[in-house]
A and B are shown apart, each in its own frame.
Chain A
Amino acid sequence: MNLTLFLLFPLFTAVAILIAQNSKQIRTIALGGSLLQLGMAVKLLLAYYKERAAGNTSQMLFEYIQNWFTPLGLQYHIGVDGISIAMILLTSFIVVAGILVSWNMETLSKEFFFLLVLLSLGAYGFFISLDIFTMFFFLEVAVIPKFLLIGIWGSGKKEYSAMKLALMLMGGSALIMVGIFGIYFNSHTSNGAHTFDILLLSKMNIPIEIQKLFFPFAFLGFGIFTAIFPFHTWVPDGHASAPTAASMFLAGISMKLGGYGCLRVATFLMPDAAHAYSWVIILLATIAIIYGAFATMMQTDLKYINAYSSVSHCGFVLLGIGMLTHTSITGAVMQMVSHGLMTALFFAAIGMIYSRTHTRMVAQLGGLLKIMPFISTVFVIAGLSSLGLPGFSGFVSEMTIFMGSWQNPDKMYRLATILACASIVVTAVYILRAAGKTIMGPITNQSYEKLSDASWNEKFAAVVLISGILIVGIAPFWLINLIEPGTEIIINKLGAVISH
């Protein structure tokens, strides 16, 4: 399986969009391209199972190395393990859904779909990279599309939000850059050169004082992408102002880049420092979880509700990473997948409602279940998954994180776990309140009665995402079996640190 195809397909799709004639052609090409990528992702999964079944136990599969900027020792080094495959699958699900949801985009549709595809290209490239430089490159590739998508097609105070998001993410990149320079210049390969190669770096032992110096840069930098407290403020504004598809991409894919980077670069390469600083990570994550949940209670705009709840849910990812046990890290990866799917579904449902009623204010909505039963059901499913109802993906992933966290016997960590668990009650309150007010009850505005239910593309998008949520929710062992070999290697490296 040639992984470079994951870059070439979006690239060709983007070029084809540029030369397409009208908006109908453009969206057909975009959808075709994204479906093809979904097919490729599934094929990659099958190929992965086949290799593993054949007894291939190497850490990364389908590796390919090409020297790039040889004097500096940079490489185009790609390869996947279970964690990356889970992320690639997540990305391709959300890309399909996002393109379907924005099917009727007429203003500047060429630019819109081009930027969406470019954003997905950045995500794919990030997840297949095994070289920190290319990883960083793809991480930043996604920043400009986000800025333009929010600024041009957004709503509300879109310029402000776009600028805030771009600058804060750029700040994250700046910190990451310092962190990876620190890793690079303290790495020594056999021939005395430096390297950015993750696999090589993971075999070296970077001195602990160096790790302690640069871990905060790398972790915080990636953390900003995944809304670490107190650098989460771009999330609510950015998500709320973005057009529906961009919100889905942002919350579903983009925030996962940060979590993946925290795990793969910061924690994996600098395990000593991860141990030393784990209490800070847990502290910040717990604050994010509690604060995010309570902040959500105060929101009146549906998009803000979902955005703040994203802060809370991404806090679980960081909590899982910070706890540094096998189960909790597996749970963190599961939570990334699960949160990506359900938050994208939530944004899709909100977008569908907004495009009909032209309001997202909870107070102005009501009785939508009578008018648009399909959309309302989707909304409820997204909500229930978000509050962790068994059967949906949210339950299994959060449960795994809590189990993993409890394995850590330290009293402070136990307290953090209890607090994080307690936040689920708050989640239930705001989700049920929002759903009850908008979906149930009397119809608040008579003009809503004429509104239509979901069109075919919206139904398709919702079905794609819901099927993902249900697969993870009902058969979590598939996902666990997929990601566990990957997390095991990370945990073994961490374990080596504890013992010495």
Chain B
Amino acid sequence: MLNEYLQVLKFEWMLIAIIFILLFIKVGSKEWKNETLLYSINFLLLANLIVGFFYNLPGSLFNGMFHSNDLIFLQKSILNLGVYLISLIAYPWLKEHKHLLEFYILLLSTLLGMFFMISSGNLLIFYLGLELSTIPLAALANFDLEKRKSSEAAMKMIISSAFSSALMLFGISLLYGVTGSLFFNEIALLIHGGPMEIFIFILILGGFSFKMSVVPFHLWTADVYEGAPVAVTAYLSVISKSAILFIFMTVMFTVFRNLEPQWYFMIFLMSVLTILIGNLFAIRQDNMKRFLAFSSIAQVGFILIGLSGVSKMGMASVIYFLLIYLFSNIAAFGVISIVSASTGKENVSDFKGFYKTNPFLSWVMAIALFSLAGVPPTAGFFGKFFLIMAGAERGNYVWITFAALNMIISFYYYLRVVKTMFMDENENPIQKILVPALPKLAMMICLLGIICTGFLSWIYETIYNLCNF
């Protein structure tokens, strides 16, 4: 019995242990040097990532409120990997930071929240995890303590997520009123598509859409991404989004399975709007972070296509795409993070002539952007192809054609950045930047991921076989 509590909750125990270690260091009297601390924390995160692959026991606890299976373990490992990579790329920024320990404590708390959220089989624990994963994030968004924009981002974030939580909570309470249960699998049987249930569904979908920044609930995204420190932006756009999408998939496929004819159309509409608006706004952005914010909005639109497949293939392609998206986006944010930490420049136009001075960083950025655009031989191509393929199975070729044509627009703005780095002339480009070892390691892992995740088909096959649709 004890063993079960240890193993099923292993990911959570690991995080709690790390958080406690950090707390002890914080309250302890010994003064640590930032660099030593960073190296040790990164080592802990690496250990956390590796341990995640062993001694996993599928099972369910607390009468099914918390459950885990191999797919969920995989999802948690993907998140662990992302957090490790983000921690590596944040090195140049955190090295100078006074409150590094708090940063990690808050970061890992949100991750803990996400783990509970992914594993939840009950709306209560789901909501608990959701809140644990959002409230510390607002504090994180404020971590550039001297910058007003950072505070603004935190404020926007807390207000908008409070609003979305309220929507979601309203939906959950009505759902409890209608069905009398909070368990996912019980509710699923009691929903048949009455008007009240559709209303509830819309409320909950709205709450999710806020977190995933799906149009028309995307307005907070660009401002928060721009104001928050680069590492936090990366965390928001990769980890937070992936976690929400994982649980969103479960909720859609289990709880609202009977409403599928209704929600298919809603998802269709939202996806089309999301892709279009994300793309059109991304074209004109000059701030790199804002640009990636809008591009990531558009990416979610593509993910919704895969999700609409409502099949094993759709589920697998979404998870697979998120893994690739993680590598690509973190690589792109890694470059921005290094440039921003050493020069403070974050605009696209600052990157003019970047290739002449920093060929390595330029290639990392270019390959990451190609992967986001979905051009082979990067893995992004496979990811996007499979997403659209999963959607095409339903035979909605209007949607597919629309998405395919929108890939041209997205290709344009990604290429625009590549063009700026490789082709534009600049009198005084960004000086040569010495990339520290840890971020370099992160970028190498990301590059490896971007190249290999596509070609090695067993990664997809593993995910596919784990999907318990």
Contact = CB atoms under 8 A, between A and B. Distances in A.
Do they bind each other? yes
Interface of A: 67-72, 74, 133, 137-138, 140-141, 143-144, 147-148, 151-152, 158-159, 162-163, 166-167, 170-171, 174-175, 177-178, 181-182, 184-185, 213, 217
A144 B411 CA distance: 11
Interface stretch (B23-31, B171-179, B399-407): B399-407
Contacts of B389: 72, 181, 184
Contacts, number: 88
A184 B381 CA distance: 18
Interface in B298-329: 312-313, 316
Interface centre among B382, B400, B408, B418 (most CB of A within 10 A): B408
B370 interface: yes
B407 A174 contact: yes
Given A70-B461, A174-B407, A159 B376 contact: no
B419 A144 contact: no
Given A167-B411, A177-B404, A184-B392, 17 more contacts: A68-B457, A69-B461, A70-B461, A72-B386, A74-B457, A141-B376, A152-B422, A158-B423, A162-B423, A163-B415, A166-B411, A170-B408, A174-B407, A177-B385, A181-B392, A185-B393, A185-B395
A169 to B, nearest CB: 10
B64 interface: no
Interface of A is mostly: helix
A137 B464 contact: no
B407 A69 contact: no
B404 A178 contact: yes
Contacts of B424: 159
Contact of A159 (B407, B412, B419, B461): B419
A141 B397 CA distance: 25
B388 interface: yes
Nearest to A175: B404
B193 interface: no
Given A166-B411, A167-B408, A174-B405, A70 B423 contact: no
B460 interface: yes
A144 B370 contact: yes
Q: Which 6 A-B pairs have the closest CB atoms?
A: A174-B404, A181-B392, A69-B457, A71-B464, A151-B423, A170-B411
Contact of B376 (A72, A140, A213): A140
Contact of B415 (A71, A140, A147, A184): A147
B101 to A, nearest CB: 41
A167 B413 CA distance: 10
A152 B423 contact: yes
B202 interface: no
20 contacts: A68-B457, A69-B457, A71-B464, A137-B376, A140-B375, A140-B376, A140-B381, A141-B377, A143-B375, A151-B419, A152-B423, A158-B423, A163-B412, A163-B415, A163-B419, A171-B405, A174-B407, A178-B400, A178-B404, A181-B397
A69 B459 CA distance: 9
A65 to B, nearest CB: 14
A170 B313 contact: no
Contacts of B393: 185
A162 B419 contact: yes
Contacts of A159: 419, 423-424
Interface in B440-469: 457, 460-461, 464-465
Contacts of A68: 457
A304 B458 CA distance: 48
Contacts of B385: 133, 177
Nearest to B356: A108
A161 to B, nearest CB: 11
B291 to A, nearest CB: 17
A181 B388 contact: yes
Contacts of B382: 69
A182 B397 CA distance: 8
B436 to A, nearest CB: 24
A166 B377 CA distance: 15
B422 A151 contact: yes
A141 to B, nearest CB: 5
Contact of A70 (B401, B407, B457): B457
Given A72-B313, A163-B419, A185-B393, A177 B388 contact: yes
Interface in B141-193: none
B407 A170 contact: yes
Nearest to B393: A185
Contacts of B422: 148, 151-152
Contacts of B397: 178, 181-182, 213
Given A141-B376, A147-B415, A151-B423, A171 B461 contact: no
A151 B375 CA distance: 17
B352 to A, nearest CB: 12
A162 B411 CA distance: 13
Interface string B196-237: 000000000000000000000000000000000000000000
A181 B461 CA distance: 20
